[in-house]
Amino acid sequence: MKALIEGFLKFQNEVFPQRTDLFKHLATTQHPGTLFITCSDSRVVPELLTQQEPGELFVIRNAGNIVPSYSPHPGGVSATVEYAVAVLGVTDIVICGHSDCGAMTAVAQCTCMDHLPAVHGWLQHAESAKVINESRSHASGAAKVSSMVRENVIAQLANIQTHPSVRLAQEKGLLNLHGWVYDIETGSIDALDGGRRTFVPLAEHQTLCAVYGKAAEVA
């Protein structure tokens, strides 16, 4: 805690005074353009890797960057997605997996999680990705995990499209979906090419979307 408090004091005394206009503006409003859904892993910091200012990203973080399919009993992730799309009007959603993901490693390796029943239940939302990944051959254990990370991003993109607010925004051409995988060691990001169902370097394909809104696709 000492490090956290020292960090806060530095923010209060050094950083905040230089950004008072920004925080004064943000005190009563927010207009983020993107909903960024990623893992709770401490090594993945959305604002850092995208270099966004406060107020520019609406963020969901959980184990495995998972979005449960919409159900009659929606939870916190569903409520946050709905608020971001229907109230804040975000125009893009990014689902971002990452290298060395503990959640996806556990799924890919079929790790026993009897001692972690809540984690085990949560990761059932990645079951469709697991089935696809298990149907393929992999050169190594590391390659299997890497593939699982990517299949999970694809699966969660499918899940999020079951949410009514997302489908409506897509139908109106107001919302595009993106699937990313961040490599911690190299700092690179691969993005899903939805048409070819493959991941390519984001730096070389900067206009790529995983799923375009209907009107945007027609245009």
Query: Could you tell me the CATH number of the domain that includes residue 188?
Result: 3.40.1050.10
Average pLDDT over residues 5-24: 97
Please give the positions annotated as active site: 39, 41, 43, 98, 101
For 65-92, the pLDDT digits (tens) are 999 999 988 899 999 999 999 999 999 9
Domain shared by 22 and 38, yes or no: no
Q: Which residues contact 84 (CB under 8 A, 6 or more apart)?
A: 32, 35, 58, 90, 93
186 residue type, one letter: T
Instruction: Please state the domain count of the chain.
Output: 2
Cβ 182 vs Cβ 49: under 8 Å: yes
pLDDT number for residue 72: 87
pLDDT at residue 45 above 70?
A: yes
User: Among 165, 182, 186, which Cα is nearest to 174's?
Assistant: 165
Percent of the chain with pLDDT over 70: 97
183 and 107 both lie in a single domain: yes
Q: What angle do CA 157, 192, 211 make, to 5 degrees?
A: 50
Task: Please check whether residues 17 and 69 belong to one and the same domain.
Answer: no
If asked whether residues 132 and 149 sit together in one domain, one would say yes
- Containing domain of residue 26, as a range? 1-30
Q: Dihedral through CA 181, CA 185, CA 187, CA 188, nearest 10? A: -50
More confident residue, 52 or 219: 52
Tell the residue number behind the tokens 């299997």, with chain if given: 144
